[in-house]
Amino acid sequence: MAAGGPRLPDPVLFEIFLYLDHSDVLSVGLVCRQWRAVARDEFLWKELFYRYYRVSRDVPRHPAAVSWYEEFQRLYDTIPCVEVQALKEHNDQVLHLSFSHSGCLFASCSKDCTVKIWSNELDISLQHSSNMRPYNWSYTQFSQFNSDDSLLLVSGVFVGPHNSSSGEIAVISMENFTLLSRVRNKPYDVFGCWLNETNLISGNLHRIGRITSCSVLWLNNAFQGIESENVNVVKRLFKIQNLNASTIRTVMVADCSRYDCPDLLLDYEEQLAASSTCPVFDLGSDSEEEEAKPKQAPEPAVQELPGAGGVPAEHGLQQFFDDIMGGHMRPAMTDTELETKVAELFVRNRTKPPEPNLLPTDSNSKTKYLIFTTGCLTYSPHQIGIKRILPHQMTTAGPVLGEERRSDEFFDSLDHVIDIHGHIIGMGLSPDHRYLYVNSRAWPRDCVISDPMQPPPIAEEIDLHVFDLKTMKEVKRALRAHRAYTPNEECFFIFLDVSRDFVASGAEDRHGYIWDRHYNICLAKLQHDNVVNSVAFSPVEQELLLTASDDTTIKVWRSPRAVRIRQATRPRPRKLLFSWLMNQKS
């Protein structure tokens, strides 16, 4: 800071002030008078903010912040970084956590093959535990509540005949914890997800060649065991060809209806343009109050896959075979290269073209996106595929195999593909479904993949990418802090979660991490004794975060402010002597 400028506050006074409310500060005399002047000094707090958090000076203040001082206090006091409880009811690695939409319950999945339901009260307690071993499961790996919290989807690894492993999805009623239905899911890391209140998406995989396959995504009714025999309980959604040993995995659904009024705009220029029309939030609490309806932004240009339909592939395939038979192929192709080339030429003339306009035309659109990991060069997932689900596709009514297809529409094409150039190990949506956050481990910059069964080495650093699903563009530089150490063939999923203002992720370095979504800065590291597999914010209270680890524990973290509030509301035990004296008087 330039000589003669405002002097930074005394660190001790600073610590005291951040732990006091304004009403408390007004009663502490001299300290109060010093801090009333300091708190009004926007220049001082702006300088302190940029220096303390090492934020680039071209990053503006959070669009909902009232002052730099309030913003500094928010990041200092509302991060869930204080451990308040450790849950140790699992006896093996805890793999995944998910909250109900109301925030009253959450579920945990584990290598001990149970799914546990917890009650999120003042002190978290176990409400129910379901053991899936009687159904030949090896372990539970993922769970998700449906939109009204009446059903729980649980995904796990199923042991079939001759010890072959596949996946299975179970649906559990939250009313009495009974098992309603089970659906096969292949491969198991498709996980599965809800499309709406009563229908869920699963996967199946059909081998075509040694490194070529077909992924089929199915829509399933959750009440398969009790529906009428005259009503379909399954319907094929999409059928997509996979090249070079890749498969579709990690499916999730994004709702497009809120894209024009997100909780937080991440593009700084867009923030500035919408500053007078954005919803206003109290950044120190979780209450939201909308003051004005945002104007509908103009639709961006649509990014689509290159059109593959309409190319006369029959001629290309015939010419290719003629060249092989005539010995004109130079250099000679390996079996793998030959299979891939034939599959590419075949699918070019047997694939339904992409949707003409990927983006919804109005903010009230009921369109949803199916998002999943995929690839085209190797078996490790390195691309994100996006496929639009239209309203008439969101029910199991109609033909089981879906709409009638022409012979040249054997496969479905993807509407959009995002190439990550690295191994994808986690994905999560912002609460408004506008932004997609992706954990990945990068490949070397100029690597060449000659064998799909030997992907490039992956970096130890985990990059956290952010994509705007309205524009299909990356909108933030990749966040870094967390690390992973397993090689390609042992690489596993690390679940992340996004709240209104923060994003959190696990890591293999025995920590969970929290970043601020607006400033792109790491705010906290959360200690465990082993790999942190999953994190979950409460959907109604972002100052509450859960972390799950290979150390078999679930840790509960709250913000310093929330801890103080909870301690203030707890009744203080009366001292024994005082109680005895009061009894004597009576």
Higher pLDDT, 466 or 580: 466
Within 266-411, residue ranges assigned H as helices are 268-273, 313-325, 335-348
- Alpha carbons 539 and 535: distance in angstroms, whole number: 12
Do 221 and 280 touch, CB atoms closer than 8 A? no
pLDDT at 345 (0 to 100): 65
pLDDT at 585 (0 to 100): 54
Position of tokens 């339901």? 117
Pull the structure tokens for residue 148.
């009204």
pLDDT at 235 (0 to 100): 92
Q: What is the mean pLDDT of residues 297-306?
A: 37
Q: Are strands 411-412 and 351-352 parallel, antiparallel or unpaired?
A: parallel
Q: What is the mean pLDDT of residues 15-32?
A: 47
- Alpha carbons 70 and 414: distance in angstroms, whole number: 45
- Alpha carbons 533 and 425: distance in angstroms, whole number: 11
DSSP secondary structure code for residue 211 in this structure: S
Do 157 and 167 touch, CB atoms closer than 8 A? yes
Confidence label for 468 from pLDDT (cuts 50, 70 and 90): very high
Read off the pLDDT of residues 139-181 as tens digits, 9 standing for 90 and up.
999 999 999 999 999 999 988 776 667 899 999 999 999 999 9
Q: In angstroms, how far is CA 323 from the centroid of its own chain?
A: 47
If DSSP codes are grouped into helix, strand and coil, which group holds residue 18?
Answer: helix
DSSP secondary structure code for residue 356 in this structure: S
Q: Which residues pair with 107 in a beta bridge?
A: 98, 117
Closest CA to 534 of 554, 564, 518: 554
Domains in the chain and their CATH numbers? 10-78 (1.20.1280), 82-264+365-399+409-567 (2.130.10.10)
- Residue 465 Cα distances to 214, 443, 474, 537, angstroms: 28, 14, 7, 19
Position of tokens 């499961």? 137
Higher pLDDT, 406 or 102: 102
Q: Among residues of the chain, what percentage have pLDDT more than 70?
A: 71
- Alpha carbons 569 and 475: distance in angstroms, whole number: 42
Do 424 and 438 touch, CB atoms closer than 8 A? yes
Q: Which residues pair with 535 in a beta bridge?
A: 547
Q: Which residues pair with 512 in a beta bridge?
A: 526
Q: Any residues with CB less than 8 A from the CB of 321 and at least 6 apart, and which? A: none
- Alpha carbons 542 and 559: distance in angstroms, whole number: 9
- Alpha carbons 370 and 517: distance in angstroms, whole number: 24
- Least confident range from 89-103, 163-177, 226-240, 511-525: namely 226-240
Closest CA to 559 of 510, 499, 480: 499
* Residue 36, φ and ψ in degrees, nearest 5: -65, -35
Closest CA to 126 of 179, 172, 85, 180: 85
pLDDT at 467 (0 to 100): 95
Read off the pLDDT of residues 330-379 as tens digits, 9 standing for 90 and up.
556 676 766 676 666 666 777 777 766 655 545 556 789 999 999 999 99
Read off the pLDDT of residues 178-213 as tens digits, 9 standing for 90 and up.
999 999 999 999 999 999 999 999 999 999 888 999
Spell 127-137 as b/e; 16+ CB within 10 A means b. bbbbebeeeeb
Query: How many residues appear in the chain?
Result: 586
Q: Are strands 411-412 and 435-442 parallel, antiparallel or unpaired?
A: unpaired
pLDDT at 296 (0 to 100): 39
Higher pLDDT, 337 or 259: 259
- Residue 427 Cα distances to 71, 101, 299, angstroms: 28, 19, 25
Higher pLDDT, 217 or 492: 217
CA angle, corner 73, sides to 70 and 79, nearest 5? 130
Is the predicted pLDDT of residue 462 greater than 70, yes or no?
Answer: yes
pLDDT at 252 (0 to 100): 98
pLDDT at 350 (0 to 100): 72
Q: Any residues with CB less than 8 A from the CB of 377 and at least 6 apart, and which? A: 244, 246, 449, 452, 455
Do 570 and 562 touch, CB atoms closer than 8 A? no
Question: For the chain, first and last CA: distance in Å?
Answer: 66
Do 468 and 434 touch, CB atoms closer than 8 A? yes
Question: At residue 193, what is the residue type?
Answer: C
Confidence label for 300 from pLDDT (cuts 50, 70 and 90): very low
Question: At residue 570, what is the residue type?
Answer: R
Is the predicted pLDDT of residue 324 greater than 60, yes or no?
Answer: no
Q: Any residues with CB less than 8 A from the CB of 459 and at least 6 apart, and which? A: 422, 441, 442, 443
Pull the structure tokens for residue 543.
């100052």
Q: Which residues pair with 297 in a beta bridge?
A: none
- Alpha carbons 286 and 494: distance in angstroms, whole number: 27
- Least confident range from 187-191, 223-227, 377-381, 466-470: namely 223-227
- Residue 375 Cα distances to 47, 347, 445, 446, angstroms: 45, 15, 17, 18
